[in-house]
Amino acid sequence: MKKLMALSVLLVMIVVIVIPMLIVGTSNKLNPSLAMKGKMSKGENLLIKVYMHEQDKIVEMNLEDYIAGVVAAEMPAEFELEALKSQAVAARTYAVKNMLIFGGSGVASKPGADVSTDYRQGQAWLSEDKLRERWGKNYEEYWGKIGRAVQETRGEVVTYNGELINAFFHSMSGERTASAKEVWGVDYPYLVSVPCDWDQKTPHYQERKEFTLADIEQLLGAETQVVAAVQNGGGAIQVIEKTDSGRVAQIRIGSKTFPGIAVREKLDLRSANFTAEVRDGKMIFNTIGYGHGVGLCQYGANGMAKIGRDYRQIITTYYTGVAIKNILGS
């Protein structure tokens, strides 16, 4: 009898406690692919929780309003409309992938927030007040243009095999984009190196920086012994290995070998796509491109738009094998 009663209590606990917990857990962590198949009703406004890092507070706002602030912060408003639309789709994909209701991880440093306005934690974002200050008399024109780019792509995100992608983007590629594997060591089939011929006429495509040998030792460490290497007539610098996209993978400077990415960060170079030489007692770096090089090339997108490509063509050029889906079902 006691065993029967114990079994009855156990069954009640399973029905009353365990099963509801499983259901709640499932509903709180929505599968993006299910949402794309119609779980979201047409025209429904999604709300996103944004951590305003300067005010240290979480603000809930319409997803599309948030995307407009991201596009305005991340891409020049002077760009072609189709380029702005491609940025809107990439930015929305990043945001939705991070949203807690879609199973995203949110902001690690601020529980409860989906995204942060701190560009170091993801995407930059600017309020309308900040944009009025930035754009001045052009505010109405630029804000209207960005609003159109967001509205005409409303709800659209990028997927690979039905799942939201990591929609990385950067300023300029420098002949080819980089793969995620060569930059971060993680292989995504949609983030491979592709040719980019549309950004080469843009401002600041190339940059030249000069450092004294003493500066190099200060920035990279005295153990490099660059001064001694030059004084002894030895090779002070040598590119040992390049990545598949042509960026510097490994480089020897003085007596020490560095990853190209590390040299870029320590010397504040625009990209890891650089050449280097010693001349007249200085170390000279010539860099092309700007940014990590993975995913959407913003200036390349603008170049493509100028020759008549639409945002869908831009997206599928920089993200290999992807599809564009609408999470609002429209």
Q: Which parts of the chain are beta strand (E)?
A: 47-52, 57-62, 115-116, 156-160, 163-164, 169-170, 175-176, 195-196, 206-212, 237-242, 248-253, 256-259, 274-279, 282-288, 296-297, 323-326
Kindly report the number of other CB atoms within 10 A of residue 298's CB atom: 27
Assigned token pair, 175: 């002949």
Same-domain check for residues 63 and 190: yes
pLDDT value of position 42: 44
Q: Indicate whether 130 belongs to any domain.
A: yes
pLDDT value of position 267: 97
DSSP 160-174: ETTEE----EESB-S
Contact 145, 76 (CB under 8 A): no
Same-domain check for residues 65 and 52: yes
Query: Pairing mode, if any, of strands 274-279 and 282-288?
Result: antiparallel
H helical segments located in 136-280: 139-151, 180-184, 213-220, 226-231, 260-267
Q: Indicate whether 28 belongs to any domain.
A: no
Q: Which residues of the chain have pLDDT under 70?
A: 1-44, 234, 330
Same-domain check for residues 280 and 228: yes
Q: Indicate whether 10 belongs to any domain.
A: no
Q: What is the pLDDT of residues 74-87, one digit of tens each?
A: 999 999 999 999 99
Same-domain check for residues 250 and 312: no
Q: What is the DSSP letter of 178?
A: B
Same-domain check for residues 155 and 221: no
What is the C-alpha to C-alpha distance for residues 273 and 293, in angstroms, rounded to an integer? 9
Q: What is the pLDDT of residues 180-232, one digit of tens each?
A: 999 999 999 999 999 999 988 888 899 999 999 999 999 999 999 988 888 87
Report how many domains make up the chain: 2
What is the C-alpha to C-alpha distance for residues 66 and 127, in angstroms, rounded to an integer? 9
What is the C-alpha to C-alpha distance for residues 197 and 286, in angstroms, rounded to an integer? 19
Same-domain check for residues 275 and 151: no
Phi, psi torsion values for 243, nearest 5 degrees: -80, 175
What is the C-alpha to C-alpha distance for residues 50 and 27, in angstroms, rounded to an integer? 21
Same-domain check for residues 212 and 192: no
Same-domain check for residues 188 and 277: no
Range of the domain at 111: 47-198+292-326
What is the C-alpha to C-alpha distance for residues 258 and 190, in angstroms, rounded to an integer? 28
Q: Which long-range contacts (CB under 8 A, 24 or more apart) does 104-110 make?
A: 106/49, 107/51, 110/51, 110/58
Kindly report the number of other CB atoms within 10 A of residue 310's CB atom: 13
pLDDT value of position 257: 95
- Total-model pTM: 0.84
Query: Pairing mode, if any, of strands 47-52 and 282-288?
Result: unpaired
Same-domain check for residues 53 and 100: yes
